[in-house]
Structure 1
Amino acid sequence: MFYDQAKIFVKGGDGGNGIVAFRREKYVPEGGPAGGDGGRGGSVIIVGNEGLRTLVDLRYQRHYKGTRGEHGMGKTMHGRSGEDRLLKVPIGTVIKDADTGETLADIIEEGQEVVVAKGGRGGRGNARFVSSLNRAPQLAEQGEPGEERWLELELKVLADVGLVGFPNVGKSTLIAAVSAARPKIANYPFTTLEPNLGVVRVGEGQSFVMADIPGLIEGAHEGVGLGHDFLRHTDRSRVLIHVLDIAGSEGRDPLEDFDVIQRELALYKPQLADKPMVVAANKMDLTDAEENLERLQAKLGDDYKLFPISAATSEGLQPLIWQVHQILEELGPVQQAVEEVTHMDVQMKPEKEERFKITRDDNAVFIVTGKEVERHVAMTNFDHEEAVVRLSRIFGKMGLDQALRDAGAKHGDPVKIRDLEFDFIEYGGGIDADEDKGD
């Protein structure tokens, strides 16, 4: 059992901009405001999928973004919403915030959806700002930026396929040839002292986990040579590949090796005899391999599928991998180990934080941070004077003016929010958002 991991960046699509527009129709000389709203940005959504076994596909692409919403149009036509981006992950995937390490969600069932980066809402067009005092507003909102974050995905995986066989038959070389695993490989017995696991990628969205189980010896079922520890991992595998040194390079007869290992598996746990198994006749590139292969074929008959291979040269590996993948598909979806994390929330935890925070940098600039206040700045179109005035009023209602005074801000002191810098003006109105120094 090991943890399959991936680190990805997700960003919701930005909302489309609202626009300032007026009716320009024949015989309507003073048409009213007709600016439409922008569309909402698409979200990034993680979906549980029973057909997947690993996170290997997420390592080939690390950035995922929702589509931006379309901008509003004239005649009060609203922009189209952006498309959501769906990411399929195996059952048992735990989602964590990469920066804080906080566990955000646990995917525990087929079709479960978790929004990990919400798309920004569309900005409102000027038709939405009509009031009894302002019949022709000259302001519209920018689209809200989509949420973004780095995520760590973690999947506790049981090995789908276990490699069994005597020491030095080439199990470590085989797993290194078909996966990204890099086990220690040397020409002496018990080079491998604990299972090495690797993800074998068969195709797009198709992969399985292979375990290089340390070499078994006669008497393993009684605990000889750490036999119980090794056999326990064999028991957790769904399919077994019996790897034989078909060339007899260690001075043993491969046919006798086959009988010994099969006997040890059955003596340890009779149910192991019911597990699907294929036989890999390894080291076909060495002398005497062909002769021993004929003897083995005669011995096995139709009881087991036999694949002549050379892990060192990669000969014959592709048919072996496809056969194992086909067996796993016939066995159906794997049941991932989720029992240790089922207490976690299965939906994103709502973030609870203060509306804004004020700090001061080394240049005596007051830095204002906070999702709400930054969102208002991002959605303000500073080309429109009415929008700037509206932003100042919003800051006043939020209590930002008084908070800056309490923090020691004086008339003319610079205040920075996101990439925009303003002067703090003491005239009863608080921040003068009309003077933009930062863009």
Structure 2
Amino acid sequence: MTLKQYFISSFLYLLVTAVLGFFLRLEATPLELDVINHYNYVVHAHSHVALLGWVYLGLSSFIVYFFVLESKVKKHYTKIFWATQACLIGMLIAFPIQGYALVSITFSTLFLLVSYVFFGFILKRTQPEFKSKKSFLLIKHALFYMVLSSIGPWALGVIMTTLGKASMWYKLAIYFYLHFQYNAWFILAVIGLLVFILEKYQFKIETQSFTKFVYLFHIGILGTFFLSTLWASSHWTLYLFSNLGNLSLWLGLFYLGKSIKKPTEFFYGELPPQSKFILKFLGLVFILKLIMQTLSGVPFFAEIATANLDVVIGYLHWFFLGFVSLFLVFLASYLNWIRLSNLSLSLYIIAFLTTEFLIFYRAGSAVFSWHYLPHLNTYLALASFLFSAAVLIILYQTLLIRKNQNQLTSKTA
């Protein structure tokens, strides 16, 4: 198998994620299909497949493709890939049946161990000429935070045994994991992959400003973790660390932009129109994500987020679906690993914007007593279905092109 095929397998997990999300939405409608016996069990499967099956496998495929020789991929990475697949399939089967229990916890634990092996593989097998690149520095830091985030799942077992799920430490362990996944591992990996492409096209990245970005971004990552603790305590020191973290992120991004000389030459010279649109959209989504994150350091908005789960869900989905997932789709399309038509892209963005509007509107109805939309949950389920439709179209068109290419090759052979 090639890395392109490895990525397609991660795309199948995106389809599973979308389908599970649709059925979870249906459970909140009056349709009463009763297709889910244990709602929370399926939520666990949905979240694990999304983060570990789709995003982890997708990002790792690109990292290996950019930084590791093909001979090393066949010799070493293939074993890591199939070990990862075994863990993912085990979780996908176990979580809907038993939730967090012996089998699912075993596969989750094995996955963490395999991800550590992957980190070591990248450190050891990256091509020597890339190890001094700025992009590789970001990828190393991203993978470090991936490993750091795993402290959360390891701690859960101890907390459940000693303090129970009702303990605030249980929730803090989950937020620790999510923070360093979303705001460190994912973001730094995305930036690292983009910087690699710029380096490939010989774009100059000024070292002094880039170094400031790296230091400030690390400070921001650590500081903004305390945003995830404001629900447990409103002590002024937590707000201080949180807002210093937010400020550091903004300053870091300023220096990142300053370090890249003439980025518009790549933007307008190398990319097709569809890719340009996606990058602009990604930039808008990311800025709005940072604005929401910054506002959450204000007591008024922090209290709203604490009191309303829809705000948290909307924020997490905003970043996961609107930024990370769409970036993976963009990069796969850029490398010609998938066929991304205007139809499938439009369906995806319509699904994203519609579901986000409905989630945040439902939150506003609870917080600000807005007029509640009749059948809102039904509309939300229907909009969620569009994600599945978009992914199915991408997979169908991608596999159809591959089939046609194979037929053409066999005819000319």
User: Shorter-chain-normalised TM-score: which range?
Assistant: under 0.3
Higher relative contact order (CA 8 A, sep 6+): 2
Rg: which structure is higher? 1
Structure whose residues are more often strand by fraction: 1
Structure whose residues are more often helix by fraction: 2
